[in-house]
Amino acid sequence: MRSPQSRPSPIRAVFVLFAIAALFTYWSRAASNADDIASPSPPPAAEAMSGDVLSHLDVRIRQTATRPPTLVLDVTNNNPDTPLTILTWESPLDPGALPLGLFSITPEGASQPLDIPTIQIRRVMPPPRDSFATLKPGETRTQEHILRDSIVSPEQLGPKPEVVVKGTWMGVWTVPIEELTPDRLENMYTDEGRLTGPFETEPFKVTIHKA
């Protein structure tokens, strides 16, 4: 005698559906966790932090002599409560800023700046301690720069050339120099506390003494 076909148990069907739903939920969460590990949420952009801090690092030009034309660059830390340590290489505080190409000099009436010969300096890493300057809030450091005849002649400059100094901070830290350990300096370019960004002065009219 043929036995009647058994019907699926409602309880078994519910259990199977529950198991499928549980597995789907597990796989979804596992995939989500894997995405989080592979692409963690980025911290606040370093560029934004650099821009906020460096925007309060002011660079200005003033003239102290006309023969030879002598300019002083003032670098002021206008951050209200943050000390800044600056690597002076290729900055306004670098004594070689003029031959390194940080100065843009446009004679009066000219449409283009002068083509000034530049040099390259090979630096020894890590930077020595005297290559850094720590500015307390409100403090100013200065560096004198002379427009020497050997670099730019008075004939090239004219009576009232316009000068702009611009470049990129190679390294600025929001701590005193004492907190930059030898290991941090040795690995300066990968140090998480190092800030970089552009600087540029307002145009400045230089008075050239007529012989």
Question: Under a CB-based contact definition with an 8 Å cutoff, are residues 129 and 177 in contact?
Answer: yes
Cα angle: 70, vertex 73, 79; to 5 degrees? 165
Terminal-residue alpha carbon distance, the chain: 130
Regarding whether 34 and 89 lie in a shared domain, the answer is no
pLDDT bracket for residue 30 (50, 70, 90): very low
Residue 16 shares a structural domain with residue 86: no
Q: For the whole model, what pTM was predicted? A: 0.75
**35 and 52 part of one domain:** no
Q: What is the mean pLDDT of residues 48-72?
A: 90
Average of pLDDT values for 10-21?
48
**2 located within any domain:** no
211 part of a folded domain: no
Helices (H), 42-173: 46-54, 154-157
pLDDT digits (tens, 9 = 90+) for 93-128: 999 999 999 999 999 889 999 999 898 888 889 999
pLDDT at 167 > cutoff 90: yes
Question: Is 3 part of any domain?
Answer: no
pLDDT at 37 exceeding the cut of 60: no
Q: What percent of the chain has pLDDT over 90?
A: 62
Structural domain harbouring 15: 8-41
User: Nearest-CA neighbor of 67 among 209, 200, 211?
Assistant: 209
CA dihedral 21, 23, 29, 32 (to 10 degrees): -110
Q: Does residue 1 lie in a domain region?
A: no
